[in-house]
Amino acid sequence: MRKAEVKDIPAIMAMLEESMGNGYMDENKCREHIESPKSFLYVEEDEGKVVASTLYIIENMQSAMDNSKEESEVLSKLSRGEPIIHCKFLCVDKKHQKGGFGRKLITELEAYIEKIKAAGLVYTVLCEYNNAIPAKSIFEKNGFSFRKKLGQVWYEDEDYYCAVCKGRCRCEGYTYFKKIGE
Ligand SMILES: CC(C)(COP(=O)(O)OP(=O)(O)OC[C@H]1O[C@@H](n2cnc3c(N)ncnc32)[C@H](O)[C@@H]1OP(=O)(O)O)[C@@H](O)C(=O)NCCC(=O)NCCS
């Protein structure tokens, strides 16, 4: 695992477009996340090639409420007033999927976040398609617990073309939470 650099932008964008679709994050946003102290954009390499990427963002209360569909009181209690981090995506290059790269990246980044005590709560919204939640095992084995089903949360985003749905996203979203420092 290493921190993403500006030179990684084309590889990250290509993975996102191929596996998740168009309009999930543009190049400018990708650059902002590389430079922002509130973002953790990390990559995994195989033989010098970027094959997996994940983005964790320290969120303010309003965006944590919007993305997790939780009340501020609940989030404050779970995070004990410490920062809340949202894992916005995990994406692996198609040819490298099911090769252990996704698991390795999340396991190493979770260990790093615990080590530097970056948050009180980490959450993610996992998607379901073809009757499976592909990333479920990775997050559960890293200490995340299922919280609730959100429904088709990505459908609201008209600019997002989902690679699985081949149009506006009808995947179901499920929140998974992990309390840090317990
Ligand atoms: C889902 C994804 C992130 C998993 O990463 P990966 O490197 O392929 O997965 P790993 O090889 O580390 O496998 C970890 C576990 O996930 C499971 N898994 C991987 N892809 C899966 C899929 N499409 N459906 C169901 N389970 C899947 C593996 O079987 C393995 O399970 P195990 O712990 O029971 O042995 C990756 O395949 C990917 O980017 N897919 C496309 C985009 C996507 O679906 N993102 C996740 C949104 S929820």
Q: How far is the CA of 60 from the centre of ligand 1 (A)?
A: 29
| Share of residues in the chain with pLDDT > 90 (%) | 96
Tokens 């290059």 sit at which residue?
Answer: 93
Per-residue pLDDT tens for 142-178?
999 999 999 999 998 999 999 999 999 999 999 999 9
The ranges assigned to domains in the chain are 2-179
pLDDT, averaged across the chain: 96
Assigned fold of 2-179: Aminopeptidase (3.40.630)
CA distance 41 to 159: 22
Per-residue pLDDT tens for 88-136?
999 999 999 999 999 999 999 999 999 999 999 999 999 999 899 999 9
Lowest mean pLDDT among 15-24, 47-56, 97-106: 15-24
Ligand 1 binding pocket mutation candidate from 16, 50, 97 (most atoms within 8 A of CB): 97
Per-residue burial over 69-102, b = 16 or more CB atoms within 10 Å of its CB, e = otherwise? ebeeeebbebbeebbbbbbbbbbbbeebeeeebb
pLDDT for 181 beyond 90: no
Ligand 1 binding pocket mutation candidate from 98, 140, 164 (most atoms within 8 A of CB): 98
**Tokens at 62, concatenated:** 């309003």
pLDDT for 1 beyond 80: yes
pTM flag (> 0.85): yes
Task: Check if 16 has its Cβ closer than 6 Å to any atom of ligand 1.
Answer: no
Q: How far is the CA of 171 from the centre of ligand 1 (A)?
A: 16
Residue nearest (by alpha carbon) to ligand 1 atom 20: 134
Note the pLDDT of residue 41. 98
Q: How far is the CA of 120 from the centre of ligand 1 (A)?
A: 26
